[in-house]
Every structure is written in structure tokens, then in C-alpha cells.
Amino acid sequence: MNSLSLFRALKLPCQKMSGLAALKTGYRPFICPLDLVLSEIPEGASLYDIGCGTGALLYLALKFRFVTVAHGYDISRQAVKASKAFEIEPQRFQVELLHPEETPPNLSGYDTVTMIDVLHHIPLKRQNDFIRKTIATMDSGAKLIIKDIEASKIFGSCMNQLHDLLLAREWVHQHSSKDIVQVLQSTAAIVSQPILCWTLWYPHFQVVALVP
């Protein structure tokens, strides 16, 4: 499982999408280390993806990690509409539209929750509270996987800022992995050491927390 195999797995569904949704979904494995995220999802897990976009990670988790359910939400109506291209049975694959004030949802019943490139789109003063609320809605022993942009890498974080200005038309707010670990530890979660990696000119971190 690598970026190329994930790209190939997304190729056919993306042909059913159009415009920017197809472009962003199809080439995402080369920009975001989805293989790293997938490696932390247990086989057969019940998965929920916060801010799932078109549902690409959920689809890949079904194919490569054989998850039993792959549910998620996004606040973009266009992304949720594009998720229909994956055509997975609705009991296992579900992407719903939520308004920002409805998030995070109740995550009870899911043993694995992912949050991929979501935090930096949340206003800075709300990010820590969002993490704590997410943990509070999860079951004890469940796993939270956070992948985001590493703010301590100045050049790379600036390149990501430019990326989001061009594609999302949004000024984003990146945090360092050190800060995120401290927030997670404040909830008494068991937190892994962050993994740092680069794709192209984008610096990423991934941290995993087990809910107390």
C-alpha cells in the first residue's frame, strides 16, 4: 500500500465526479500521506472520519483495511454530493452533511476516529476545545488519529497556507504537533509520539491517542 496504489484505487470513482472535487480526490494520495493514516486503522474497525470531504479515506479503508463500517461527515455540500460516486452499500459507507455548529457529532460506537487536515480549518481559538469535545464523545479505549500540517516547519506550512488560499479560498491556522500532543494529554488520553513526514513540499504530522 503506497501513494500510487491508493491513486489507482481512486481512479474509477473519480471519473464519476466532476471539476475540482475529482481533481482534489484523485490526487490526494500524492499530497496527503493517506497510506500512513490507513496503517493505523485496525482491520475490521468501525471507522468515523471527521471532515471526510468526498469520503476518499473511508472508501480506501473499506478496500485496504476491510473496516466493517465507514462513516463520516463534511460541512461542504459539494463534497458530500461528490461522495455518491463511491457507490458503496449505505449501511457500511455513509457521508452526511453537518453544519459547523453541529460538530463534532456523537462518536459513541466507533472504535476508530480520524481527523485528517481538519484542525487547521477550524478557527484557532476553537481548535483545542474541538479536540477535547471529540475525545469526550468517544468510547473508552477508542483510537483517535489526527493528521495535520506541521506548523513548526515554516517553509512547508507557508506552502500549505498558499495551497488553501488558492483551492479553499481560506486563511488557515496551523498548529505544531507538540501543541496538539499537549491538548490530547490534558484529556488523560494515552498519546503516541508524533510521526513527521513530507509529501512534495507539505510537512505532515500524525499523532494517535487512545481515549481513557
User: Could you give all domains of the chain from N- to C-terminal order, each with its CATH number?
Assistant: 3-210 (3.40.50.150)
Q: How confident is the model at residue 143 (pLDDT cuts 50, 70, 90)?
A: very high
CB < 8 Å & 24+ apart, contacts of 64-70: 64/1, 64/6, 64/9, 64/38, 65/38, 65/41, 67/41, 67/43, 67/92, 67/112, 68/44, 68/92, 69/94, 69/110, 70/94
Task: Give the pLDDT confidence of 161-180 residue by residue, as tens digits.
Answer: 887 777 777 787 888 999 99
Q: What is the pLDDT of residue 158?
A: 87
Q: Which residue has the higher pLDDT, 152 or 169?
A: 152
Q: What is the pLDDT of residue 90?
A: 79
Task: Give the pLDDT confidence of 191-208 residue by residue, as tens digits.
Answer: 999 999 999 999 999 999
Task: Give the pLDDT confidence of 73-92 residue by residue, as tens digits.
Answer: 999 999 999 999 997 877 89
Q: How confident is the model at residue 131 (pLDDT cuts 50, 70, 90)?
A: very high
